[in-house]
Structure 1
Amino acid sequence: MAEQKSDKPQIKPFAGPAGGWGSVRSLAEIMPREHVKPEALRELARQNKPDGFMCVSCAWPKPADHHPFEFCEEGAKATAWELTTFRTTPEFFAEHSLAELRGWKDYDLEQHGRLTHPLRYDAATDKYVACSWEEAFDGIAAELGPLDPKSVVFYSSGRTSLEASYMYGLMARMFGNQNLPDSSNMCHESTSVGLKAAIGVPVGTTQLEDFKHCDAILFFGQNVGSNAPRMLHDLRDCRKRGVEIVTFNPLKERGLERFTDPQNPIEMATLGETAISTQYHQVKAGGDIAAMMGIAKFLVEWDDAALAAGEPAVLDHDFIEQHTSGFPDFLNAVRAADWAAIEHESGLPQAELEDSARIYAKAKAVLAIYGMGLTQHVKGVENVRMVVNLLLMRGNIGKPGAGPTPVRGHSNVQGQRTVGITEKTELVPVDRLEAQYGFTAPREKGLDTVESCRGVIDGSVKAFIALGGNFLRAVPETGPMEEAWTRLQLSVQIATKLNRNHLFPGKVAYLLPCLGRIEEDVQASGPQAVSVEDSTSCIHGSRGKAKPASPHLLSEPAIVGAIAKRILPPNPHVDWDAWVADYRRIRVAIAETYPEVFKDYETRLFTPGGFWKGNKASERIWLTASKKAEFLVPEHLSAAGFADAPGRYRLMTLRSNDQFNTTIYGYHDRFRGVKGTRDVLFINAADMAEAGLSAGQIVALESDAGDGKARRQEGLIVTPYDIPRGCLGAYYPECNVLIPVEHHAEESHVPAAKSVPVRIAA
């Protein structure tokens, strides 16, 4: 196994752009470190292309008119990570107990390589031991049989295909519950709840084509350079034709400042750069509602003055009258908002917000792009609703180049919801499922991520089945969750690599290795393809061709089908074996359940650029109770959910340039100038001085949630950084230990990881 030392940290400012030679060097470093075979280069050439495979990393759209290399630095890392030649075999587990492995870092666990055999936990030795697939499936069924179905959780990661997700959701409902939390619960559930309430659909309304028609972009709380770098091509093209990009983000992220296109020989040769943001406003963590209220206030005041002077209106009054509800109440709230309060809560001066409003008012078509910097707050749903409020004020939904554009993380996390991975009955065609499969489906709401965590801690959840992911590492309340996890009667982890969740087994536990998306999946009918949905609701076929890491691996549909056969009574309407033998049969079933979305599914599967599932709000058809788009009056100007106090800070958990969600690729956060460590605390220099701290000092963070529970993260290096006063930054998932399970978005239950109340301790 290749190792990266993390005992000699280096922290110094990074002067370069996003992309450029830094990305090239990163790619050149990751390939030999993973000891990949030459076929990895062949697979990179197929990545995100028609008849290729869809990246296992982010969910940014795959264009029909693709680049020669349609992958980014992060996507290349994800591919190398999956195609590594390192292996984690039963011999490895014979040498290491789980107690010992708990002392390993996240990077070292996953870097050890691909899992090769199905494994069973042996409590007597505290080790995983090899078992047969039949033994594992029979053992799982034996444990689930006596349990109340409501006590079992079926979790799924966003990388799971539409085919496997559909089977998984159906299996859970036929078993008797809708306990189907997924990655969306941890990131964009605030989008699903907020957009559904405001415009009648739970997803964004735009497509990749809209980038060619916008003339301004409002950008909120998303680090494009690290989390969706391929979007930089679209932002660069927009800037080249004069599109204004106004960014609101607490940290200066290099991808939102400037970009060198690694696929442009002239830029690479001349070290040319494209400035991305035309305005960059470092809003306070949790201050976005206030910032958007300031823009709205200026627009209203400008509109009042224009109408009084007989000049053209600033707001789109015809659109508001015809297509919206609730505007008078919102207008009254905007008029009553105090500029001093707006400045205090946003951390931005009135003049800057007015400058942003001028750009918005002059633009004819505006995209509003946002990420978890908006959704992961106590008032995360209100953040999303305020984005919609701004767009509705000038009719910026339902026309080319305009609309809300949430940036999803995992490559199919949005698609899972499309085919039934949800705890909410109203999001699933339950009547159709019952008619199609001849069973009585549960109607009771299931458990989401936060509720699953509560159930694990209080003991009401008895079994946890995980189709991918690293749930225990990704969720809040790390300490109590790890302690409670070992009290589960059964834990099943379907995975490609070892991660920290696997080191906390239930009383009975199985670790089941599966094929990766890039690997060839051969079933009885021959090589198979799967499908995924991107952030813009386009659905793509994906075909793996790499040699599997082990002959003992099964595909995700095969594993789900085998479990379903054992835990469910025979059903003449569901032939799990036939589905596994030929995934086209699964797609036929999906199209029968969701005919509006998946018409001609098979013939459109490998359409260049994907096929769009459609969006009623983009047609200005509002599937709300009022049949109109709804304005919302925010309850508070701060999304943080707690008051400021002396010594209390707002902690934002961050991803580095060398990770994807909980997967750590290395210890180099290039854009923030951090190398060799993840134990960093970013702090404003003035706050550092006021607190009597010095650069390089080692401190701890303590929870200041006011619930009487002690939470502490040790060993953080004080690092002065360009960050708003009163705010701190530190890495996820290490700092999840500081987040209470009850610190979440009020309506969506998304953990509020972007504004966590903490104090600095020596």
Structure 2
Amino acid sequence: MTERARHESYDQPVGGWGSAKSLLIHSTEQHAVSAISSLVTAHNKTGGYMCTSCAWAKPAKPHAAEFCENGAKATFWDVTSNRTTPDFFAQHTVSELLGWSDYDLENQGRLTHPMRYDASLDRYVEVSWDEAFAQIGEKLRGYAPDEVVFYASGRASLETSYMYQLLARLYGTNNLPDSSNMCHETTSVALPPSIGTPVGTVLLEDFEHTDCILSFGQNVGTNAPRLLHPLQEARERDVPIIVFNPLREKGWEAFVNPQRPGQMLTNEPTLIATQYYQLRAGGDIAAMVGMAKALLAFDDDARLFDGKRVLDHAFIAEHTDGFPAFEAMVRETGWDDIQLASGLSQAALEAAATTFSKARSVIAIYGMGLTQHRLGVDNVQTLVNLLLMGGHIGKPGAGICPVRGHSNVQGQRTVGIAEKAELVPLDWLADQFGFEPPREDGLNTVEVCEAVIAGKIGAFIGLGGNFVRAVPERELMEQKWRGLDLSVQIATKLNRSHLVTAKTTYVLPTLVRSEIDSQATGPQIVTIEDSTTCIHASRGTFGPAAETLLSEPRIVAEIAKATLRANPLVPWDRWVDDYSLVRDAIEASFPDDFRDFNARLDTPGGFPRPVAARDRKWETESGKANFQIPQALSASFDDGKDADVMRLITLRSNDQFNTTVYGYSDRLRGISGSRMVIMMNRDDRLRLGITENGMVRMVTAVDDGIHRAMGGFQVIDYDVPPGTCASYFPECNALIPLWHFAQGSKTPAAKSVPVRIHPD
């Protein structure tokens, strides 16, 4: 029987003694207490290693301890003393392990030896590295190139990612989906037509100069806790912070900085959000249009009474295109429609607009609460519209700031991990390495799933990640995945994707970034890119978990050598001996982004890649920043006409990062003991005839011939807007149809899944 969850309101701030206690608990559980000293001296610091958790910026002048609670958990998880050895696999069948939880699988510890699945035994058995590479290469030589997928999660370094994309293209395919497809691909699609760049424009120092911060769909306390430092400093300058989010998240409410002894002693928090608006799931466009409508009204009044104008008309005239059409759309949209779609009152949106209108420099932060909707692209572009109205892009203290997830997910795209051929300098690669790269677009994540279901994929190579667990349509995907001929998983720990086996399956264990990576020329340096486009060097400080582990660059190189014809212009062995030579190759391929790459490795705070929009240079077809007109006020698939259809938000707990679950304590929401819960508005629960703490099942409210249902969820009364409910990712992925994605980007729309909830 599933463990029952406990729910008690958490009345403490983010950070403080709660984080300190959590750090002690997790370091002890993973037998990694000795890692704490390295966290202080080396974590996210010049000369040390970069965190394998989130991608938030690393300051030039780091704090005494430049890590957060979740970054520490990720490190303890990486350097744990627990080991998953061949003896473990000898004791457990794959069928048995499929019944284990995500937490229990990964909690067995670091993988130590390359393993191959033996179907006759239903067990993984040890295999030598040489044998594994030879057999993988032989298999790969037997497929048509586009039958093979080269997937990358967001943790691999720039060096590994560059080698990996080159392997795929030398093989003959652009099938290079990555974890960005599942989170911020919407950003990469939305921003170029608006401002000419696929990435944000904000640097860390902009937070020192801003006088207003606006946030949509981002949970800072769980997903990017180190961002709380600049937010705290902004509040101490009396900078207003306006937050739109369906749930009231502790990170936006109160913060006690563990690095301030006085604040720890008094436990007096810094209050972060000055205005907090709990909009309905999918109602972000309506809220932004409401703010824009209020700003136009304020500007009309200023013009009539010779007051200071609210809009930056000079900026709009010189730097933008499309404003008249956007203005007309906003003026024609009625307040009744805005209030219905957003779930917020006209007065609330006017109050937010009033604060926004008084600011000289506004930073707009957002996360997957905007990107993972049917109209996620419209969400992001409408937020840009708000900034353009006030001239808040391309000046100090202002700009658009997408908060990326995994630590190098943005950097992988920079060095060529992309299924879209137009994003990669293929002509340069052709000249540099003497081959003709494929020119047709490859498959993104959703398209890979479609191809697997259709039986069109022969082999899948996974550079990290937990692909089968992370994608939508989980039940059908697991069924069809077993029809693959080959699955190769480069990993540090056991996860469910390794247990949903293909006909031939290998698990290849690798080093983590915080471990010393010694090659022929000595300990190696790798690099990553943070959310603000800054490049950082990373040097491991911990000893490897096992002598049998290989580095990611070595594994990629050995697969390439076993699969491809020798190419004298691609020195795989020399690259493995000396990663600086890989960086030279990266610089040759991407000279504008990586000028003097090796010479700038230890730039404090990293060195930023150039982003033209920061200088008000708009690399768009019009040569200007473009106002975009949203298709509708609601970004959801649900039309809102059936009151019994709820909009389900899938979210992470305080005790997880992506699919990695560190434990069962979602401390900041006061939920513990189980992840099989659904958070509901009490009035909705009563209206649907569900008892307090009752058990329910959810059924996806779509009519496509597939019945998607999950039971065993415990209802918790929670502060969420009417018509909205929330439960955990990845447990609820089976409820998300594969076709339920953002228009334009195909990012799974996991933030407003239409469901019906029934007593179980």
The two structures have a TM-score, normalised by structure 1, of 0.99
Task: Write out aligned runs for 1:537-552 (5 A).
Answer: 537-552=533-548
Deviation, 1:393, is 0.5
Q: Which residue, out of 302, 318, 324, partners 1:322?
A: 318
Kindly provide the CA deviation profile for residues 565-619 of structure 1, in whole angstroms up to 9, marking residues without a partner as x.
1211111111100000100000000000011111111111111110111110011
Q: Could you tell me which amino acid in structure 2 is paired with residue 619 of structure 1?
A: D
Task: Decide which of 19, 23, 28 is 1:23's aligned counterpart.
Answer: 19
Number of aligned positions between the proteins:
758
Q: SS at 1:595's partner residue?
A: coil
- After the TM superposition, which of the residue ranges 302-311 and 369-378 deviates more from structure 2? 302-311
Shift of 1:313: 1.7
Provide the rounded CA distance (Å) in 2 between the counterparts of 1:309 and 1:381: 37
Within the alignment, does 1:756 sit opposite 2:753 as a pair?
yes
Residue deviations 1:14-50 (CA, integer Å, cap 9, x gap): 1111111000000010011001262453244310001
Q: CA deviation at 1:713?
A: 1.6
Q: Gaps spanning 5+ residues in structure 1: where? A: none
Shift of 1:8: 4.9
> Is structure 2 residue 692 aligned with structure 1 residue 695?
yes
1:171 maps onto 2:172 in alignment = no
CA contact (8 A) 2:637 2:754 kept: no
Give how far 1:641 is off.
Answer: 2.5
Give, in whole Å, the separation in 2 of the partners of 1:79 and 1:87: 15
Aligned residue for 1:493?
A: 489
Other structure's SS at 2:405 match: coil
**Superposition map of 1:120-135 within 5 A:** 120-135=116-131
Following the alignment from structure 1 to structure 2, what is the Cα–Cα distance between the partners of residues 273 and 89? 45
1:629 is the counterpart of 2:625: yes
Provide, for residues 65-121 of structure 1, a one-character-per-residue CA deviation record: whole Å limited to 9, x for no partner: 111111000000000000000000011111111111000000000000000000011
Question: For residues 181 and 119 of structure 1, what CA distance do their matches in structure 2 show?
Answer: 25
**Over aligned residue pairs, what C-alpha RMSD do you find?**
1.0
Residue 738 (structure 1) aligns with:
735
Q: SS of 1:597's equivalent? A: coil
Quote the Cα distance in structure 2 between the aligned partners of 1:521 and 1:444: 36
Q: How does 1:363-374 map to 2 (within 5 A)?
A: 363-374=359-370
1:562 partner amino acid: E
Report if the CA contact (8 A) 2:186-2:745 is conserved. yes
Residue number in structure 2 paired with 1:573: 569
Q: After superposition, what is the alpha-carbon deviation per residue over 1:218-237, rounded to whole angstroms, capped at 9, x for unaligned? A: 11111100111111111000
Q: What does the per-residue CA deviation read over 1:484-514, in whole Å, with 9 as the maximum and x for residues that have no partner?
A: 1111010000000000100011101100000
Alignment match, 1:91: 87
Shift of 1:482: 0.5
User: 1:675 matched to which residue of 2?
Assistant: 672
In structure 1, distance between residues paired with 2:127 and 2:405: 34
**1:463 Cα deviation from its structure 2 partner:** 0.6
**Correspondent of 2:583 among 579, 582, 587:** 587
CA deviations 1:264-303 (Å, max 9, x no partner) are: 1011101110110000000110000000000000111111
| Alpha-carbon shift at residue 172 of structure 1 (Å) | 0.5
Preserved contact between residue 379 and residue 635 of structure 2 (Cα < 8 Å): yes
**Matches of 2:587 and 2:317, distance apart in 1:** 38
What is the alpha-carbon distance in structure 1 between the residues aligned to residue 693 and residue 41 of structure 2?
43
Partner of 1:233: 229
Q: 1:526 to 1:471 in 2, by over 3 A?
A: same
Question: What is the rounded CA distance, in whole Å, between the counterparts of 1:666 and 1:121 in structure 2?
Answer: 28
TM superposition shift of 1:543: 0.4
Q: Secondary structure at the match of 2:699?
A: strand
Aligned equivalent of 1:707, options 693, 700, 704: 704
Q: Secondary structure at the match of 1:653?
A: strand
AA paired with 1:609?
Answer: G
SS in 2 for 1:656: coil
Q: Is residue 2:60 matched to residue 1:60?
A: no
- Give the AA of the match of 2:680: I
Whole-Å separation in 1 of the counterparts to 2:643 and 2:52? 43
Cross-structure match for 1:413: 409
How far residue 712 of structure 1 moved from its aligned partner, in angstroms, is: 1.4
Query: Mapping of 1:19-168 within 5 angstroms?
Result: 19-36=15-32, 38-168=34-164
State yes or no: 1:362 paired with 2:348. no
Deviation readout 1:625-644 (Å, 9 max, x if unpaired)? 11111111111000012312
Superposition deviation, residue 308 in structure 1? 2.4
Q: Which range moves more in the overlay, 688-697 or 445-454?
A: 688-697
Partner Cα distance (1:727, 1:267) in 2: 36
Q: Which letter maps to 1:146?
A: G
Please point out which of 263, 266, 281 is paired with 2:259.
263
Instruction: Report the counterpart of residue 613 of structure 1 in structure 2.
Output: 609
For the residues of structure 2 that align with 1:30 and 1:311, how far apart are their CA atoms?
Answer: 57
Write the letter of the residue equivalent to 1:362: K
Name the CA distance, whole Å, in 2 between partners of 1:568 and 1:148: 13
Match of residue 298 from structure 2: 302
Is this contact kept in 1: 2:150–2:461, CA < 8 A? yes
Cα distance in structure 2, aligned partners of 1:380 and 1:52: 37
1:311, CA displacement in angstroms? 2.3
Deviations 1:339-389 (A, max 9, x none): 000000000000000000011110000000000000000000000000110
Partner of 2:520: 524
Are the equivalent residues in 2 in contact too, given 1:650–1:757 (CA < 8 A)? yes
The AA in structure 2 aligned to 1:518 is S
Offset from partner CA, 1:197-218 (integer Å, 9 cap, x none): 1111000001000000000011
Structure 1 contact 165–421 (Cα < 8 Å) conserved:
yes
Q: Report the secondary structure of 2:647's partner residue.
A: strand
Would you say the 8 A contact 1:40–1:83 is kept in 2? no
Of the three residues 717, 722, 725, the one matched with 2:719 is 722
AA of the residue aligned to 2:731: E
Is contact 1:158-1:413 (8 Å) kept? yes
- Of 430, 433, 436, 2:429 maps to 433
Matches within 5 A, 1:545-564: 545-564=541-560
Matched, 1:502 2:502: no
- The whole-number CA distance in structure 1 between the counterparts of 2:131 and 2:304 is 79
Secondary structure in 2 matching 1:230: helix
Q: 1:256 to 1:232 in 2, by over 3 A?
A: same
Q: Which residue of 2 aligns with 1:646?
A: 643
TM-score, normalising length: structure 2: 0.99
Amino acid at match of 1:541: A
Cα distance between partner residues in 1 of 2:195 and 2:290: 22
Task: Name 1:686's counterpart in structure 2.
Answer: 683
The AA in structure 1 aligned to 2:91 is: E
The Cα shift of 1:671 comes to 0.8
Query: Is it true that 1:481 corresponds to 2:477 in the alignment?
Result: yes
Measure the CA separation in 2 of the matches of 1:525 and 1:383: 49
Q: Does the CA-based 8 Å contact 2:5-2:714 persist in structure 1?
A: no
Deviations 1:509-567 (A, max 9, x none): 10000001111000011100100000000000000021101111000000000011121
Distance 2:237 2:534 in 1: 25
1:245 aligns with 2:241: yes
Distance between the aligned counterparts of 1:646 and 1:304, measured in 2? 38
